[in-house]
């Protein structure tokens, strides 16, 4: 996946939304193509000067690169993303997740369910039989009913609310700080030998929603 391909798919999806919507999106690189590139430390001195002149920002061309970069950062405009602009053109808004918080996105749970269905049934497909593989994926996607989506969304909303309430308590000072004391017996070898059991949480008593093997859970995109 890349920014150009995603933008084409995204616009095709937007035209099928029947009413103004808020679209939740993580910070994957192909979601974050900027309308206009802004200066970074990787830019050459000539590129920095060209950007400053284009934006009519006062500077001296005989300054060092680090000085030009400092001026550019002081005048850096608000970052604008192509997908955000495209969504607004169709009457929608993008809500970006905080970094490392993919568990706030219900689609991660739905995608985990689809992968679990596929991994559990892929043995029925003959090797390199594209039609059989596609049929199993279709089964997995068809199983993601609106009702199941709603349960996943409810679960995510509860996570967000719980985290918000915890932050309020921390901010107000009602929760004491957590202090971990590392004794002399602690070692990386000991910690590596420990086994941790990770369990999934059920939603409204439905064990199908989140009962997904750990290996099938999707990785966060940042």
Distance CA 36, CA 119 (A): 41
Q: Which pairs with CB-CB distance under 8 Å and at least 24 residues apart come from 155-163?
A: 155/106, 155/109, 155/201, 155/203, 155/209, 155/210, 156/103, 156/104, 156/105, 156/106, 156/109, 159/103, 159/104, 160/104
What percent of the chain stands above pLDDT 70? 77
pLDDT band at 192 (very low <50, low <70, confident <90, very high): very low
Query: Which whole-number Å values give the CA distances from 44 to 3, 64, 90, 141, in the listed order?
Result: 24, 11, 37, 47
What is residue 79's DSSP assignment? P
Beta bridge partners of residue 34, listed in sequence order:
81
Whole-prediction pTM:
0.59
The residue ranges of every structural domain in the chain are 101-175+197-222
For the segment 70-122, what is each residue's pLDDT rounded down to a tens digit? 999 889 888 889 999 999 999 999 999 988 888 899 999 999 999 999 888 88
Residue 192, CA distances (Å) to 144, 187, 189, 211 in order:
38, 9, 5, 26
First to last CA, the chain: 14
Residue showing tokens 């430390």? 41
Where is average pLDDT lowest: 100-109, 178-187, 210-219? 210-219
Q: At what angle do helices 65-74 and 45-54 cross, to 10 degrees?
A: 30
Q: What is the pLDDT of residue 222?
A: 44
Q: Tell me: the pLDDT tens digits for 128-177?
A: 678 888 889 999 999 999 999 999 999 999 999 999 988 887 777 766 66
Provide DSSP, 98-127. Answer: PTT-GGG-HHHHHHHHHHHHHHHHGGGSPT
Does position 200 have pLDDT exceeding 50, yes or no? Answer: no
Q: pLDDT digit string (tens) for 4-23?
A: 999 999 999 999 999 999 99
């Amino acid at each position: 996946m890349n920014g150009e391909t995603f933008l084409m798919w995204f616009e095709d999806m937007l035209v099928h939304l029947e009413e103004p919507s808020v679209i939740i999106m993580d910070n994957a690189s192909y979601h974050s193509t900027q309308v206009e590139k802004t200066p970074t430390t990787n830019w050459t001195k000539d590129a920095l000067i060209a950007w400053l002149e284009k934006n009519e920002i006062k500077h001296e061309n005989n300054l060092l690169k680090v000085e030009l970069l400092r001026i550019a950062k002081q005048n850096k405009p608000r970052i604008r993303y192509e997908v955000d602009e495209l969504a607004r053109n169709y009457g929608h808004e993008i809500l970006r997740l905080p970094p490392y918080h993919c568990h706030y996105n219900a689609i991660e749970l739905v995608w985990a369910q689809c992968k679990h269905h596929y991994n559990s049934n892929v043995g029925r497909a003959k090797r390199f039989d594209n039609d059989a593989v596609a049929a199993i994926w279709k089964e997995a996607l068809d199983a993601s009913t609106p009702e199941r989506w709603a349960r996943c969304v409810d679960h995510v909303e509860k996570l967000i609310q719980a985290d918000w309430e915890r932050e309020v308590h921390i901010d107000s000072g009602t929760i004491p700080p957590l202090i971990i004391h590392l004794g002399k017996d602690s070692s990386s070898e000991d910690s590596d030998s420990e086994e941790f059991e990770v369990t999934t949480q059920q939603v409204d008593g439905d064990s199908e929603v989140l009962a997904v093997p750990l290996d099938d859970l999707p990785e966060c995109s940042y």
